Amino acid sequence: MPCSMESQYLLQTPWTIWYDCKAKKNASTEEWQNNLHKVVTVTDVPTMLYAVENIEPLADWPVSSNIHFFRDDIQPAWEDKYNIGGGKWVFEIMKGDEGVDLQQVWKKTVLFCASECIPEELICGAVFSARKYVNRFAIWTNLKDSSVLDIGKQWRELVNLENYPSYFFRSHQDNLEGGQYWTKNIYSLE
């Protein structure tokens, strides 16, 4: 029986887009949870692309705001049972760098996650974070062992930003324990 047009574009798993903007530094987990908003859950490629292509320009987002693209059964929180044993690949772009199309980087990152090119559902989701001096992109994983190296390598190749060669991986447990995120890198790609 041939595939219907609708089934040809279905994602292997549903994905949810979330948004949050921290009102204050060092917000409690409860305050953060109350500020986290589910935007939409997508189950097919056209809806996902529509949602990704119709967000406000990322360069204009307020400081401390985040957009999350996560598997539907995973909340974008370090403490989530799927995230707690994992970590995240990160790279940053300095604010005001007009040589980088943030929308394209985000779109490629979302497509990379939803493509399921990485086996065993290692990827939990992706995050774009607007910060005071940088725009930060991250891919969250459910593991932190060497199996995540391929994720970082493939993502770096897809995004193809030669001026931003430094990608680093840090565990969520280290984030929970505090400290500066750049001091506890488990892996880096240069």
Q: What is the pLDDT of residue 163?
A: 66
Answer for the pair 15, 113: CB distance below 8 angstroms, yes or no: yes
* Whether this model's pTM surpasses 0.95: no
Q: What is the pLDDT of residue 30?
A: 83
Q: What is the pLDDT of residue 180?
A: 61
Radius of gyration in angstroms for the set of CA atoms belonging to the chain, rounded to a whole number: 16
Laid out side by side, the sheet with 167-171 consists of: 37-44, 10-21, 65-71, 123-130, 134-141, 87-94, 167-171, 187-189
* DSSP symbol at 56: P
* DSSP symbol at 80: S
Q: Which amino acid is at 9?
A: Y
From the options 1.10.760.10, 2.60.40.10, 1.10.1040.10, 3.30.760.10, give the CATH code of 5-189.
3.30.760.10
Q: What is the pLDDT of residue 3?
A: 47
CA angle 40, 42, 48 (to 5 degrees): 100
Q: What is the pLDDT along the chain (190 residues), one digit of tens a residue?
A: 454 445 568 999 999 999 999 766 777 778 888 899 999 999 999 999 999 999 999 999 999 999 999 999 999 998 899 999 999 999 999 898 888 899 999 999 999 999 988 877 899 999 999 999 999 999 999 999 998 999 999 999 999 876 666 788 998 887 777 666 556 788 788 7
Q: What is the pLDDT of residue 166?
A: 77
Task: List the domain boundaries for the chain.
Answer: 5-189
